[in-house]
Structure 1
Amino acid sequence: MAAAALAERKRLSVARAVGCDTTTLPISVFLLIPQFFFVGAGEAFIYTGQLDFFLTKSPKGMKTMSTGLFLTTLSLGFFVSSFLVSVVKKVTAANGGHGWLADNINYGRLDYFYGLLAILSLINLGIYLICAVWYKPKNNPKARDVMKMETFVNGSSAEENC
């Protein structure tokens, strides 16, 4: 989000220099690569790690439920995102101005919105670090025995099945 805020700040400075009413700005689309790279890589790591956590740390009978919980956390994130956009739009446009999320992005302050998202992401990182330090995995000898039994029955290791 910080990369998106910086890219938007650059785009706004070009838009103001050329005139805000123009539809095409003389900047390269490659300005967007860093933010898409960071967001895409972050989602790839988060989704695979979260799904792996839900599948490996849940009891055998709860695997389907944990997958559903994983998808529920994604959908709740989308709802919270929509709610945040609505709140920011109402609060910042309350004075009768364009607000951060204007209909014409050349008149809005999308860089402020991305900055807000960067701050919220840092707070989220702090909460995650606290939870990660607090979490202590249980050494479940029965789970290891089940894994050994599945290996014996199937004739292949768990790594070969992945």
Structure 2
Amino acid sequence: MNQSGLEANKWSLATLTDVEEVKMVLRMLPIWATTVIFWTVYAQMTTFSVSQATTMDRHIGKFQIPPASLTVFFVAAILLTVPVYDKLIAPIAKKVLNNPQGLTPLQRIGVGLVFSIIAMIAAALTEIKRLRTASSHGLTTNPVAKIPLSVFWLVPQFLLVGAGEAFTYIGQLDFFLRECPKGMKAMSTGLFLSTLSLGFFVSSLLVTVVHKVTGNNKPWLPNNLNQGRLYNFYWLLTILSCFNLGIYLVFAKWYMYKDKRLADEGIELEEADPTFH
């Protein structure tokens, strides 16, 4: 009831918990935004890297490897990275960083972003080698020619992105689940998954922009990759990823985890009803 004896409009009032929960989400947005670029890099492994594979020697004896099957190295990298982290990296990180968790969620994401940069460097160098091999054998004008270069030259970029995914995926999921307010836990998964979808959207946007900018002169991404400059696209992603990493490190340094911040400020939030409506 207000001073006039009338019932107050509940929509015009906000509790301390409501205000703090909104502030928590707003503080997470810079971290959310700077993880999108990883999934933009990831998208290249399922598009242009597969296109590269179709032009290369995919034979093991008489068996020919399907181009899209190279994505199995994502899984291999994850299966290798997770136990290596648990058995080797985490114990060392616990001692060095004095953190019982090993690496914090933000540190894991940062490691994943570094892996994505190295992956794009490897992808650019491999594409340069592929084009040189095509040129030396006079195959640049034939879009369906099989270049005498083993498809396994592409494996490092798949392994690097896969290892980066192991760090970034787990780091993001842990971060959003931990830092989202208790009353907005359903939002944590939405925030995490939105970075994946936005990453693929940014990838499509970049391809469209590159087509428009370079299409009339020397296109980077023509239908015939043997006459293109796909390596420049990979270098572009390397530069964008480095720039993004710098911004991410600033935000990660600035970010204070929810439990520590609330404890420092002496704020105790109300427990949210765990029932979803």
1:107 to 227, 243, 259: 227
2:135 pairs with 1:16? yes
1:159 match: none
2:239 to 116, 119, 128: 119
How far, CA to CA, are the matches of 1:63 and 1:117 in structure 2?
Answer: 33
How far, CA to CA, are the matches of 1:133 and 1:94 in structure 2?
Answer: 43
Moved more, 131-140 or 23-32: 131-140
2:249 pairs with 1:129? yes
How far, CA to CA, are the matches of 1:117 and 1:92 in structure 2?
Answer: 16
1:66 match: 188
> Structure 1 residue 89: deviation in Å?
1.1
The residue type equivalent to 2:194 in the other structure is T
Query: Where in structure 2 are the equivalents of 1:1-162 lying within 5 Å?
Result: 1-19=120-138, 20=140, 21=142, 23-95=145-217, 97=218, 99-138=219-258, 139=260, 140=262
Report if the CA contact (8 A) 2:130-2:149 is conserved. yes
> Structure 1 residue 70: deviation in Å?
1.0
How far, CA to CA, are the matches of 1:91 and 1:78 in structure 2?
Answer: 20
Unaligned runs of 5+ in 2: 1-119, 272-277
How far, CA to CA, are the matches of 2:163 and 2:145 in structure 1?
Answer: 31
The residue type equivalent to 1:131 in the other structure is F
Report if the CA contact (8 A) 2:211-2:221 is conserved. yes
The residue type equivalent to 2:122 in the other structure is A
How far, CA to CA, are the matches of 2:158 and 2:174 in structure 1?
Answer: 24
Report if the CA contact (8 A) 2:180-2:187 is conserved. no
The TM-score, its normalising length taken from structure 2, stands at 0.49
Q: Deviations over 1:62-83 (max 9, x none)?
A: 1111111111121111111100
- Name the % identity: 62
The residue type equivalent to 2:229 in the other structure is R
> Structure 1 residue 94: deviation in Å?
2.5
> Structure 1 residue 37: deviation in Å?
0.8
Unaligned runs of 5+ in 1: 147-162
